[in-house]
Chain A
Amino acid sequence: MNSENENEQKSKSLMEIYRKCYKKTRIDYNEKGFFTPRLRSINHLSIGRSKIISSKLTIFLELLFRLVMDIKYGLIDLWKKITPKDMQSKPAPGKHDSRLIGRITFGSHEDFHVPIHNMKVAFWARTWLFQWRKIADGITNRDGTFELPFHLAATKRWSVFKTVFEAYETSYTYRKEGHKEYHYRLFHSEKVPGSGLVGMSYNLRTIPLFYWEYRTDIGVPRVVIKDHDVDAPQYYSRGRIEAVDQQIIPIELTKLKHLEQIAHDPDSLTIEKIQSEYPENLTVCMENEQPGCTRGDEWFGRRMMNGMYAARFHQDADDPNDYWTRFYGACEYKINRKYAFPTVDIRFTMDDRGVMMPKEIHLTGPLTSTETDPWKTRVFTPEDGEKWLQAKRVARVTGGLSVELDDHLTGTHLNTEQFSIAAYRNLRLSPIAALLFPHLKEVMLVDHTADSILIGPADEAPTKSMIRSGGLIHWLQNKLDRLGSDIMFESGGYIPRASAMTHEGILQRVRDLLGVQDWKDWQPMESLSEAHTYPRAEKAYWDMLGDYLDIFFDENIEGIREHWYEVFCFSKDLVKHAVPLFNSDIDMSSLDKNQRRLAKQRMQWYQDRYHLDPSSPRDTIDGELKVLSPITHSEEFNEDDLQNLKSACQYMIMMSTFMHSWVNEHQYEDIGEVLYNCLGLRFGDGEEGVMAPESDRRIAPSLACSTQMMWFSNLLSRTEYGFIVRNEEHDINPLLVRMLKERKDEIEKNGMLIENIESRTNI
């Protein structure tokens, strides 16, 4: 009884500390001064020196540049107001004695003949007074062809000095009363020579558009981005850039200060000092309140249940009170030999409060620099004293990296991107476009940034040329820096430097993990106890989404039915470009016994973790069994596939909003303290390898990696923009906002503030 009371007291105390520190470690926005350093673009972030303007001279030049650009854009906006192009205007009257015809297709080599259907096109005349007159408009047909009938005389008026054909991307916003408004973003424009318009048809021929092309170099569905700032399928909204700008500067400066110190006087810096100069995170705050509380078993269990890990628990076959969870380590992926990354199996016992208390930790794989056997397993229990503490740390680190790669990067970012590409390529007039676009936008931009600064090769050469530095101002800024040390110009990926995973290994892993993500059959996790709050938040949100989609589909069924062809093309693109089902492209007979066992074990685990049914009917394309289930095979509407569409939409919105928000929100809590959890423990040169105390700096991250890790954690968690309830860009359906607010209590009491649920994955 006493020990029960004690536990209860300890738990109360732990939870009180947690709640106090949770409130304390929330985010603030800084004021901007005249000479406040500025970030021009999210893609200018770097683990070395981000392209931040910080010296007075460069700030002055940057402000001058900004002034010129503001004047320029102001003039452009004024010009647009003076010479508006009214997309809603009616075409010029008169008998349609002529036609502008052509065909629009995708432009990349891989899909050159694939038509772009339902694309808005228009034919304009520009007058000598620079006014626009619409001559004709329409949309492309299923085969990409368009025919714009027009009155020839309207193009021959004396007032007309040129005629232009344009193609647009369609997007939507919602007015307050819930009505959808179409918006058209110019995507392609070409002059039509007036002398060529002579009546009958004028053929613009095939117009290939480099529009949401798939990359062909990477083996997973990703979009081509030629230049993040000027030649991408989408761009960040101004608000998004400002949110990063406002938050990142002090953190960037802190990182730069540390890098300078490391370059010049590394002994003057310690991990603790680095930690103290960043904003306090949850675990640091809690340790300050009660040292050791976050290293204990209860905290470990609670974070596994309800933290960033959101672990899946399997009941033990023999003891129903025991549960297991697992985080896969290096497996067979390409790794470096500097960091440990064992596979971790953890056995828990659920106590009477419903908290998972760790009982055993199994580490499989090398734990020292001299070990090579990837199949060797060691088991640790609370009776192992210090080793138990160290094993928990190893488990946190492996779990952290595994969650970041498998659930965060792959399960939300890359998973959402594949839906995003197929959606933007194919959905235009269907109500499904308005439903999904707000949740699928911008993900490819942040993924593109992650390609270099997060998972890019570790040994990328530092860049110092003016052009590659981002222009004169950035180049000048670099020159004005006191230090020219290479560390300041490092521009490779963080994870390959700071963990066992290499860039190639990460690419292999994300491909495999995408091979277990499918919308079909996905369901929220089951809550195992009162204390297991995460699944209840997940389920509440999932159920809310289901209700929202029921109403949305009912209200928009006619439009969905009419434009079912877009859904068909969407499904086709999605499946065609999906990765193979996990293990389906492996010849098991070529694997040895251990490899085979691992492959089967992983499949079994992922089936359960991601609700994947390998026996679901799937399409085989070019010899690959694609993981994503088709939504429909029918070009025409059919009721049977309507539920598929609904389920797929529910899944997409779930992944891009709640699932991403959860892991992103909580990662600073769980990976915001270097010695607590750092994504990678070095082998060091000790006999015990990573099984060493936190005080052993040989296994802790290097000073540079430590400050970079803190920079990352802060960047990813503190610079969010684009929330469902805030609806900053008015593109979220008001119905969703209202229904989410109605579930506020239910979701928030289980660990997620609804104000923090992002509307899309953009960080």
Chain B
Amino acid sequence: MNNTIASQPNSIWAWFGKKFNMFVLWFVAKVFGLALAVFMGLMTRQRMSHNNGIAAEGFLDIVDNPDFPAHKFFKPGKRFPLRIRHATATFYDDAMNGIRSISIKFSHEHFDSPFDIEMNTGATSLFWSAASFLQFAKLRKEKYGIEYPEYYRRYPEGLTGAQVSLRRDPDSFHNLHYYCKTPFLFIADDRTRYYAKYRIKPFDEEPETGKIKDPSQWDTCNQRILPHETRGRNYLKDEYIERVTTKGAKYRMQIQLLKASEGEDPEIFNNMVVWDDRKYPWMDLAVLEVNSILDWTDSNLTSFSLNNMPETLGIIPAESIHDYNSLNYMRSHSEIARKARIFAYKLFGGPKEIPDDDNRNSSTID
């Protein structure tokens, strides 16, 4: 079901089939985007998932002596303005067991940027294609901080992805490792085609906290705070504010490249499959230095898009909803949802800040 660069339909029926599949992908992406726009953006003024976040600014410097092939966008030593946003997925409570994220914008603007990238904790994901993402969305069935029980039962790889991605009570957003998981294009200056994955680590290699040591087969769906939790709903954001204002936050951005070839295995695009870092080593790409916190309003206004990428670094084309690259395709077609959310802010004002109250395990602010 997954495309290869060299795949060519070898009959009229195969051609029709391919076109039909692409139409279905396009249609699903559009409908999904529209649904997000209406039900999340307009009606609740929310992003699809990562609403509980904090934004900050600083600068990003491409490394001076890169080990990766030359690319005009990633010129050695080049400095970019930087805006990042850390978030906890789904719930408005930092003390819950949740997936944490960092979104990076090579700009100080709310949206416009030459390069955006979004990453989450864990080297693998919970879904791997548009079709599996739709199942993921359908089987969420969240109640009181417990979600995806049926999804994890049905899709063991999804469960494994959750177990490696969830972080419980990390000390800070800063010491977590974030991965983009899905590959992107990397067409070097010499026109050699590569596929790239990115990750973010703390610059000083401090150990990552919050990983689940003995994940449960049955209880992964339970993301509730611990019974005697003392941390508040905003503890991670508060820590980050403290960190950035006192000493700043410094990260290392790395890139992993895999050379494209004829007849390549579609599994290389599968974000559930980690590329062997002995064959495809991680290489330093940039250093990120964050030195000022943005307020809640700016954090909400700051949006990211996979369409904010140079063409030679953009998303890989997808051919169907089962294609591993269809995830990024759907993300790139959800622009309407962002616009709807921003429009709703203008009409109704932005969402209020998360209070440090006793409304725990909540997927809403109040």
Chain A residues at the B interface, C-beta cutoff of 8 Å = 95, 97, 101, 152-153, 156, 195-196, 198-203, 205
Partner of A198, one of B132, B153, B267: B132
CB-based contact B131/A199 at 8 Å: yes
In the bound complex, how far is the Cα of B153 from the Cα of A199, in angstroms?
15
Assuming A97-B266, A198-B132, A198-B135, is B154 touching A203 (CB within 8 A)?
Answer: yes
Assuming A156-B1, A202-B154, A203-B155, is B322 touching A196 (CB within 8 A)?
Answer: no
Q: Which of chain B's residues 98-139 have a Cβ closer than 8 Å to chain A?
A: 128-129, 131-132, 134-135
CB-based contact B322/A195 at 8 Å: no
Q: Does B2 contact A (CB under 8 A)?
A: yes
CB-based contact A200/B132 at 8 Å: yes
CB-based contact A201/B156 at 8 Å: yes
What is the minimal beta-carbon distance from B43 to any residue of chain A, in angstroms? Answer: 26
In the bound complex, how far is the Cα of B157 from the Cα of A200, in angstroms?
7
Contacts A199-B1, A201-B155 known; 10 new A-B pairs at CB < 8 A? A95-B266, A97-B1, A152-B322, A195-B135, A196-B154, A198-B134, A199-B128, A200-B155, A200-B272, A205-B154
What is the minimal beta-carbon distance from B15 to any residue of chain A, in angstroms? Answer: 15
Q: Which residues of B contact A200 (CB under 8 A)?
A: 128, 132, 155, 157-158, 272
What is the minimal beta-carbon distance from A154 to any residue of chain B, in angstroms? Answer: 10
Q: Which of chain B's residues 1-49 have a Cβ closer than 8 Å to chain A?
A: 1-2
Q: Which residues of A contact B157 (CB under 8 A)?
A: 200-201
Query: Can you identify 25 A-B contacts, CB atoms within 8 angstroms?
Result: A95-B266, A97-B2, A97-B266, A97-B267, A101-B156, A152-B322, A153-B1, A156-B1, A156-B322, A195-B135, A196-B154, A198-B155, A198-B322, A199-B1, A199-B128, A199-B322, A200-B128, A200-B155, A200-B157, A201-B157, A203-B153, A203-B154, A203-B156, A205-B153, A205-B154
In the bound complex, how far is the Cα of B153 from the Cα of A195, in angstroms?
16
Which of B1, B153, B157, B272 has the largest number of chain A CB atoms within 10 A? B1
CB-based contact A202/B2 at 8 Å: no
What is the minimal beta-carbon distance from B355 to any residue of chain A, in angstroms? Answer: 39
In the bound complex, how far is the Cα of B158 from the Cα of A196, in angstroms?
13
CB-based contact B129/A199 at 8 Å: yes
Q: Which residues of A contact B154 (CB under 8 A)?
A: 196, 202-203, 205
In the complex, the chain B residue whose C-beta lies closest to that of A157 is B17
In the complex, the chain A residue whose C-beta lies closest to that of B321 is A198
Q: B234-260 CB contact bits vs A (8 Å, 1 = yes)?
A: 000000000000000000000000000
Q: Which residues of A contact B128 (CB under 8 A)?
A: 199-200
What is the minimal beta-carbon distance from A201 to any residue of chain B, in angstroms? Answer: 5
In the bound complex, how far is the Cα of B272 from the Cα of A97, in angstroms?
13
Q: Which residues of B contact A152 (CB under 8 A)?
A: 1, 322
In the complex, the chain B residue whose C-beta lies closest to that of A197 is B131
Number of inter-chain CB pairs below 8 Å: 44
Dominant SS at the A interface?
A: mixed
In the bound complex, how far is the Cα of B135 from the Cα of A594, in angstroms?
74
Q: Which residues of B contact A97 (CB under 8 A)?
A: 1-2, 266-267
Assuming A156-B1, A196-B135, is B155 touching A202 (CB within 8 A)?
Answer: yes
Q: B156-186 CB contact bits vs A (8 Å, 1 = yes)?
A: 1110000000000000000000000000000
In the bound complex, how far is the Cα of B128 from the Cα of A543, in angstroms?
64
In the bound complex, how far is the Cα of B131 from the Cα of A195, in angstroms?
8
What is the minimal beta-carbon distance from B95 to any residue of chain A, in angstroms? Answer: 31
Assuming A101-B156, A156-B322, is B2 touching A198 (CB within 8 A)?
Answer: no
Q: Which residues of A contact B155 (CB under 8 A)?
A: 198, 200-203
In the bound complex, how far is the Cα of B128 from the Cα of A201, in angstroms?
11
In the bound complex, how far is the Cα of B272 from the Cα of A95, in angstroms?
17
In the bound complex, how far is the Cα of B157 from the Cα of A202, in angstroms?
9
Q: Which residues of A contact B134 (CB under 8 A)?
A: 198
In the bound complex, how far is the Cα of B157 from the Cα of A203, in angstroms?
10
In the bound complex, how far is the Cα of B98 from the Cα of A570, in angstroms?
47
Q: Which residues of A contact B158 (CB under 8 A)?
A: 200
Q: Which residues of B contact A95 (CB under 8 A)?
A: 266
In the complex, the chain A residue whose C-beta lies closest to that of B158 is A200
In the bound complex, how far is the Cα of B117 from the Cα of A177, in angstroms?
70
CB-based contact B131/A198 at 8 Å: yes
Q: Which residues of A contact B272 (CB under 8 A)?
A: 200
CB-based contact B266/A199 at 8 Å: no
Q: Which residues of A contact B132 (CB under 8 A)?
A: 198-200
Which of A195, A196, A199 has the largest number of chain B CB atoms within 10 A? A199
In the bound complex, how far is the Cα of B2 from the Cα of A95, in angstroms?
10
Q: Which residues of A contact B1 (CB under 8 A)?
A: 97, 152-153, 156, 199
Q: Which residues of B contact A153 (CB under 8 A)?
A: 1
In the complex, the chain A residue whose C-beta lies closest to that of B324 is A199
In the complex, the chain B residue whose C-beta lies closest to that of A204 is B154
Q: Which residues of B contact A201 (CB under 8 A)?
A: 155-157
- Top 3 nearest A-B pairs by Cβ distance? A198-B132, A198-B131, A200-B157
Q: Which residues of A contact B135 (CB under 8 A)?
A: 195-196, 198
What is the minimal beta-carbon distance from B97 to any residue of chain A, in angstroms? Answer: 22
What is the minimal beta-carbon distance from B356 to any residue of chain A, in angstroms? Answer: 40
In the bound complex, how far is the Cα of B158 from the Cα of A198, in angstroms?
11
In the complex, the chain B residue whose C-beta lies closest to that of A206 is B153
Q: Which of chain B's residues 295-340 have a Cβ closer than 8 Å to chain A?
A: 322
In the bound complex, how far is the Cα of B160 from the Cα of A201, in angstroms?
12
In the bound complex, how far is the Cα of B21 from the Cα of A156, in angstroms?
11
Q: Which residues of B contact A203 (CB under 8 A)?
A: 153-156
In the bound complex, how far is the Cα of B272 from the Cα of A199, in angstroms?
11
In the bound complex, how far is the Cα of B305 from the Cα of A135, in angstroms?
40
In the bound complex, how far is the Cα of B319 from the Cα of A156, in angstroms?
14
In the bound complex, how far is the Cα of B130 from the Cα of A586, in angstroms?
68
In the bound complex, how far is the Cα of B153 from the Cα of A152, in angstroms?
20
What is the minimal beta-carbon distance from A330 to any residue of chain B, in angstroms? Answer: 56
Q: Which residues of A contact B267 (CB under 8 A)?
A: 97
In the bound complex, how far is the Cα of B266 from the Cα of A203, in angstroms?
22
In the bound complex, how far is the Cα of B1 from the Cα of A77, in angstroms?
37
What is the minimal beta-carbon distance from A141 to any residue of chain B, in angstroms? Answer: 16
CB-based contact B156/A198 at 8 Å: no
Q: Which residues of A contact B322 (CB under 8 A)?
A: 152, 156, 198-199
In the bound complex, how far is the Cα of B321 from the Cα of A152, in angstroms?
12
Q: B134-148 CB contact bits vs A (8 Å, 1 = yes)?
A: 110000000000000
Which of A152, A195, A196, A198 has the largest number of chain B CB atoms within 10 A? A198
In the complex, the chain A residue whose C-beta lies closest to that of B266 is A97
What is the minimal beta-carbon distance from B18 to any residue of chain A, in angstroms? Answer: 12
Q: Which residues of B contact A202 (CB under 8 A)?
A: 154-155
In the bound complex, how far is the Cα of B266 from the Cα of A200, in angstroms?
13
What is the minimal beta-carbon distance from B31 to any residue of chain A, in angstroms? Answer: 15
In the complex, the chain A residue whose C-beta lies closest to that of B322 is A199
In the complex, the chain B residue whose C-beta lies closest to that of A97 is B1
What is the minimal beta-carbon distance from A80 to any residue of chain B, in angstroms? Answer: 30
Assuming A152-B1, A203-B154, is B266 touching A198 (CB within 8 A)?
Answer: no
Q: B250-286 CB contact bits vs A (8 Å, 1 = yes)?
A: 0000000000000000110000100000000000000
Q: Which residues of A contact B131 (CB under 8 A)?
A: 198-199
In the bound complex, how far is the Cα of B273 from the Cα of A394, in angstroms?
82
What is the minimal beta-carbon distance from B272 to any residue of chain A, in angstroms? Answer: 6
In the bound complex, how far is the Cα of B323 from the Cα of A199, in angstroms?
9
In the bound complex, how far is the Cα of B157 from the Cα of A201, in angstroms?
7
In the complex, the chain A residue whose C-beta lies closest to that of B323 is A199
In the bound complex, how far is the Cα of B158 from the Cα of A202, in angstroms?
10
In the complex, the chain A residue whose C-beta lies closest to that of B139 is A196
In the bound complex, how far is the Cα of B132 from the Cα of A543, in angstroms?
64
In the complex, the chain A residue whose C-beta lies closest to that of B20 is A158
In the complex, the chain A residue whose C-beta lies closest to that of B267 is A97
